[in-house]
Structure 1
């Protein structure tokens, strides 16, 4: 493909979108466009349609979403469902109506059933019930996957969905009310270290297993999808290994240099017991992660300290 192909990255300021932008630039792509949420409200169907019609990108990467951890999802079910549906539907429909040649939809591993067999395969989608705390977000993302699949099936267009595992890295959200587990732990351990190595209180039992992927590795998967014609509509993107939340906490504690105690609040929810993804479909085509978890946490803590 041509390096001057016009590519629109929705959500280019977020953790995922900014990583995708960096990866494309590094590969020599020169015609990238992005709009902040103030410049373009992706929830407004007419504005999205006008923007795509005016700009005429050849590729759209949808990295825009309303996201958050267990607490944010549980407390705000309606916006997590409705705003995500609005954002993706407007982008997918405009891309279809205006004949955008490639659309890459980014979702999340939470689309899979709560008690699905591990590791999670793409075909497990819609085979059982979801994790209740983030079902609203999951249902929106499932609708996006199905919309891309339907367009691919009916119109033979190159619309593909990538489902990453838990992501972390530069430009992550470190707000304790709305962040995911890894950045929240980095902040908690750092602030406790600054406070004379005070004890750190963490949610749940520490027993759930989680898989984590550095956002730059996801960006490489998006780049791979941009430059390839992938034969199927849905691909998992992960490392293929997971650790307990307790082990994650100990790894972050060591990286940060916190020497106090860790306390677990077992009255708080654990979420899904395990979420390990089978990413072999994408790996067989030629993509594989490069950044291991310890190295990734070290880089992310370095970014946090600078920012």
Structure 2
């Protein structure tokens, strides 16, 4: 038993959620939130609530509390966040720290005031130490130094985990946290400056294939290892955890398998039809050497990923090409 288990004051047995209960998906237009929305619809939930950032600024505390007072959701998934890749995180650490802290505190405080029964907070695998033993177990949290290129974002997400644990201890509510690995799929951010590694590579190689370029240059050495999970698998895992898991410790969500950045680049090049060469700009940062999650806790809760990497990449490339004219630039 961990220290957090000993301090946990929740007496709750997970079970099927009421499909007629009001369910708020914060961030329902983002990569994860939109996938969760689709999953909930397919599972028969009839009272889904979502607001775009233009309709509800989650950094505005008064607006968030007013929204909860009117909608009174029974269930909440907090998937809203300011996210980005190495370049964005390294360039705008204040924004990633401040925006995410405000979003989390406002939503979680409002959910507490208005008695949300079941809540899932979504974080990121970057919460773990840069040199954590691989594969990374949940109890590696707060045992070492963070990756400096995204430490501000990681600190915000760690604060969210601790707030969930604090709510469980102080108020006895069965709220939980899930930490996904690198996600990809329909609805991703493919912008050159703000995207994560996989959508950035898809855009880069697809542009090169269309233009007839003979070479593509990527950041770093290509040697870091990364784990990738299709967002539709992530959405399925979220609902599964809400209905089958309860505990104070965050749950890793991933595939349990990783590949090098070089290998993922080669796969994407093949999928998009790029036949040129790949160069590596070794003057640019690699980030964490390896980040593979131990998904034993998730497996013990009865869930494993289903979508293979190449099949998921092909469907993502198809989606990207179908929506290229309307994507964020």
Partner of 2:27: 11
Tell me, yes or no, if the aligned pair for 1:197 and 1:259 is still in contact at 8 Å. no
Of the three residues 199, 221, 245, the one matched with 2:237 is 221
Tell me, yes or no, if the aligned pair for 1:192 and 1:198 is still in contact at 8 Å. yes
Tell me, yes or no, if the aligned pair for 1:159 and 1:233 is still in contact at 8 Å. no
Partner of 2:5: none
Partner of 1:261: 277
Partner of 1:34: 50
Of the three residues 82, 86, 111, the one matched with 1:95 is 111
Partner of 2:152: 136
**Separation in 2 of the partners of 1:225 and 1:240?**
17
Shift of 1:96: 1.1
- Secondary structure of the residue that 1:19 maps to in structure 2? helix
**Separation in 1 of the partners of 2:282 and 2:35?**
35
Tell me, yes or no, if the aligned pair for 1:189 and 1:256 is still in contact at 8 Å. yes
Partner of 2:219: 203
- Secondary structure of the residue that 2:154 maps to in structure 1? helix
1:272 lines up with 2:288 in the alignment: yes
Matches within 5 A, 1:1-307: 1-307=17-323
Shift of 1:233: 3.5
Shift of 1:229: 4.4
CA deviations over 1:216-260 (Å, ceiling 9, x no partner): 011001111232342343100000000000000001011111001
**Separation in 2 of the partners of 1:229 and 1:292?**
25
- Secondary structure of the residue that 1:230 maps to in structure 2? coil
Alignment coverage as a number of residue pairs: 307
CA deviations over 1:8-52 (Å, ceiling 9, x no partner): 000000010000000000011111000010110100111101111
CA deviations over 1:233-291 (Å, ceiling 9, x no partner): 31000000000000000010111110011000000000000000011101111111110
- Secondary structure of the residue that 1:158 maps to in structure 2? coil
Shift of 1:103: 1.1
After alignment, is 146-155 or 58-67 more displaced? Answer: 146-155
**Separation in 1 of the partners of 2:115 and 2:177?**
18
**Separation in 2 of the partners of 1:194 and 1:262?**
16
TM-score (norm 1): 0.98
Tell me, yes or no, if the aligned pair for 2:124 and 2:181 is still in contact at 8 Å. yes
**Separation in 2 of the partners of 1:253 and 1:99?**
49
CA deviations over 1:84-141 (Å, ceiling 9, x no partner): 0000110111111211111110000000000010001110000011000100000000
- Secondary structure of the residue that 2:175 maps to in structure 1? strand
Unaligned runs of 5+ in 2: 1-16, 324-329
TM-score (norm 2): 0.92
Tell me, yes or no, if the aligned pair for 1:192 and 1:258 is still in contact at 8 Å. yes
Unaligned runs of 5+ in 1: none
**Separation in 2 of the partners of 1:30 and 1:229?**
23
